[in-house]
Amino acid sequence: MCGIAGAISFTEDMREDMKIYEKMQTALIRRGPDQRGIVLTKEAAMIHTRLAVIDISGGRQPMTFGRFTIVYNGELYNTDEIRKELCDEFEFTTHSDTEVVLKSFAKWGEDCVEHFNGIFAFAVYDSERHRAFFARDRIGVKPFFYCLKSDKLIFASELSALLEHPEVPHEIDSTGAAELLLISPARTAGCGVIRGVDELKSGCCAVYDADGLHIREYWRLKAYELNETFEQTAEHVRELVLDSIRRQLVSDVPVCTFLSGGLDSSIISAVAAAEMKKLGKVLDTFSVDYKDNDRYFKASHFQPNSDPEYIRCMAEFLGTNHHWTVIDTGELVDALDDAVEARGLPGMADVDASMLIFCREIKKSGTVAISGECADELFGGYPWYRDEDIRMTDGFPWAQSTAYRSRFLCDEYAHKIDADDYVYSAYRRTADHAMKLSTDSGTDSRMREMTELNFYWFMQNLLERKDRMSMYSGLEVRVPFCDYRLAEYLYNVKWEYKDHQGREKGLLREAMKEWLPEKVLWRKKSPYPKTHNPAFLEAVTEKLRNVLDTKTPLTELVKREELEKLLMHGENVQWYGQLMNLPQTIAYFIQLDYWLKRFKIRLV
């Protein structure tokens, strides 16, 4: 895993701007602390920072083969198969997947992406054809931002690196304001929030040449007829899940797992522990908790029980070397700013900050971790899949707070933005994008829409959080449930099967029942843990009050009177599903203030 950046121009000499590219590279150094490289030609600047995981000595970048130069961020899980396919035509001098990607492009051109199973974002410059090719993985695990000027394309893994280029404006307009106050911490697919900045969407690739930028979608969730019994479906799921986890255990450095005691991380840990045992090794597992959470925890519909009991059960069941990270309130508040540095935007407040602290602790013991994100989106694990009233609500099920959010928009932007239309149109575009069959039942038709909404919105936000917080800590995190083969297959599994025994992720439970103890196998879903300590609300309230006592750009975007009301704690409206309530909303505005100041953002 790495950081990539660069610029392509067919009218300017890229070799004259070395200092700019060094600044962009420095902004990415946390993503790749082990090695760094820059290749400059007249038309292209190719920038790389490397976190060495596979072929530590041989995988240096930028990597050149003939007329092609690549900068690549990611991991291929079918590297060996592709290398064997190419061996008759090419000689390989390293064991790195970078060389496989590069020579795949030399062989298949733009169609190389069709051959890859992995998470990636990369750029290839072709010096003979005077063009550049960009691609992002099918699921969108790895980021790729860009700014297209009249005669230049500038790109980077992260917004912070892009903003180091003097031609990228540090500005937000009404679209950026709408994203920050009506949509965030999610983002509209393809939107970079900063004026003039876009993101290559998941499952897309592009060519940039003298005629401009040409983007195409090479993958999406497609509907097809699936005629399998429940037993066949469970067997198919089991094979896919096991194959995905095992592929993602390949590494030249030690691998560990996140373990929350929930279904998804427990399955991954169980398979990983079994594979480690074959090698005579013991798996390291990691969990996060909060100081005094046992004292303040209160069961709710979304979080019916706390994790520690189930974590201990799994760690003992698997015989892992288990590590706890316990976060105190002050530490959590202090990490809010670092979480903005990592994401490049304000995000999920303490949910981001705690992940950042957690990843820092894991990094002390290893470089590669495996996590259970995305099973809920694909298997229908969230409450909004299962509650028929919420499921049929015409709008984002996790974001029913547009009226509340719009109150915070300052008058200048409120007059320019139709809040309801902005949010509803984004919802409708995604729901209408869902591919369906004429034979779908009413329930299955809506479930395709729900999958599409979760896949391209809720899941993308969680993946962005995991990528930025982990990579900021120099930690690579892999997500086996994001295997595109699993996503393609599950999109076409009927809801009746996913809802096996009337339980969330019932199909996954049945498919993997031999891997877990009953207590964990049938545990009711519980989300990522957050602090329940009232000291957090007190601390963020005081911190936002201090912000409002100074000159702050925050009140140029957000109504001061609404922030003052927020600090009175009179309302507890969900800002973003169960993940962000009153304390997190206050913390979000602290992050927004920090972001505006840190990146010197101008409002236009």
DSSP string across 567-593: TTT-----SBTBTB-HHHHHHHHHHHH
CA atoms of 443 and 391, how far apart (whole Å): 10
CA atoms of 175 and 191, how far apart (whole Å): 9
How does 469-478 read in b/e, with b if 16+ C-beta sit within 10 Å?
A: bbbbbbbbbb
CA atoms within 13 A on the CB side of 86: 23
Task: Give the single-character DSSP code of 499.
Answer: T
Q: Is 150 exposed, middle or buried (0-12, 13-18, 19+ CB in 10 A)?
A: exposed
DSSP string across 329-392: HHHHHHHHHHHHHHHSS--STHHHHHHHHHHHHHHTT-SEEE--TTHHHHHT-SHHHH-HHHHT
Give the pairing of strands 131-136 and 118-126. antiparallel
Owner of token pair 């940039």: 208
For residues 273 and 320, is the Cβ–Cβ distance under 8 A? Answer: yes
Instruction: Using the Cα atoms of residue 293, residue 296, residue 299 and residue 301 in order, give the sign of their dihedral.
Output: negative
Looking at the DSSP assignment, which residues form a beta bridge with residue 486? none
Instruction: Using the Cα atoms of residue 514, residue 515, residue 520 and residue 525 in order, give the sign of their dihedral.
Output: negative
Distances (CA, A) of 425 to 181, 429, 465: 16, 6, 25
Q: Does residue 482 have an active-site annotation?
A: no
Looking at the DSSP assignment, which residues form a beta bridge with residue 255? 368
Among residues 2, 374, 410, 482, which one is catalytic?
A: 2
For residues 159 and 197, is the Cβ–Cβ distance under 8 A? Answer: yes
Looking at the DSSP assignment, which residues form a beta bridge with residue 37? 48
Q: Is 374 left (phi over 0), alpha (psi -120 to 50) or beta?
A: left
Helix H or strand E encompassing 284: strand 284-290
Return the closest-CA partner of residue 219 out of 209, 206, 233, 204: 204
CA atoms of 406 and 309, how far apart (whole Å): 41
For residues 354 and 332, is the Cβ–Cβ distance under 8 A? Answer: yes
CA atoms of 486 and 1, how far apart (whole Å): 22
- In the three-class reduction of DSSP (H, G, I as helix; E, B as strand; rest coil), residue 451 is classed as helix
Q: How many CB atoms lie within 10 A of CB 426?
A: 22
CA atoms of 530 and 332, how far apart (whole Å): 10
Active site residues: 2
